[in-house]
Amino acid sequence: MKSRTLTAVFLATGLLVAGAAMAQQSAAPNPPDVIPDKMPFAIPYGAPISMDRAQAVIQAAVAEANKRGWQMNVAVADSGANLVAFARMDGAQLASIPIAEHKARAAAKFRRATQVFKDAVQKADFKFMLTLDDVIASSGGIPLIEDGKIIGAVGCSGGTDSQDEAICTVAAATINK
């Protein structure tokens, strides 16, 4: 009888200690639940990029990719996330066509580089972001900002994430000064 009582006391004590430890752990704020003072990524949308300017962005991307010997797909979306211009370089992989478009649309819709989603999922373990419509957790989508407003976005795909990002950065620099 004494051993049963002691066992029950030890079990109850263990449960209380474990419960207190869990309560302390859950008391720490969950980063996605932290309320920022200012709205992040609040760059206003501007007038949509023109076809001529979108093609200039693509030309910059293609020139940089040619310089490096990389075959890329490059898409430019307007401020409403609609495709304005697209180029598939000779030899660029076919699977990357919709990926380049997706990166451009996501960067325009969410007003941020797609690298932000990649970092959130991979570095901060914010897997919930993958449940959001149109998110792509991959580098190579960058908003095009002129006079403090988003006029569109460029998306590049066909290489590794870092290659896509490098080409996209050069292309975006034609607008983002």
In a domain, 41, yes or no: no
Assigned token pair, 43: 């760059």
Q: Are residues 92 and 20 in the same domain?
A: no
Q: Residues of the chain with pLDDT > 70: what percent? A: 82
In a domain, 26, yes or no: yes
pTM metric for this prediction: 0.79
Q: Are residues 11 and 56 in the same domain?
A: no
Q: What is the pLDDT of residue 40?
A: 81
Over the chain (177 residues), what is each successive 10-residue block's mean pLDDT? Answer: 49 44 50 78 94 98 98 98 98 98 97 93 85 90 97 98 98 95
Q: What is the pLDDT of residue 4?
A: 53
CB 54 within 8 A of CB 125: no
Q: Are residues 15 and 61 in the same domain?
A: no
Length of the chain: 177
Residue 6: domain span: 2-33
Distance, CA of 139 to CA of 163 (rounded, Å): 9
Q: Are residues 69 and 9 in the same domain?
A: no
Q: Are residues 14 and 67 in the same domain?
A: no
- Say which residue the tokens 């859950």 belong to: 26
Number of structural domains (the chain) is 2
Q: What is the pLDDT of residue 33?
A: 74
The number of beta carbons lying within 10 Å of the beta carbon of residue 19 is: 10
| pLDDT tens readout for residues 105-116 | 999 999 999 999
Assigned token pair, 72: 């890329």
Q: Are residues 68 and 29 in the same domain?
A: no
In a domain, 45, yes or no: no
| pLDDT tens readout for residues 122-144 | 888 888 888 888 999 999 999 99
Q: Are residues 15 and 93 in the same domain?
A: no
Q: Are residues 163 and 82 in the same domain?
A: yes
In order, the DSSP letters of 150-169 are EEEEEEEESS-HHHHHHHHH
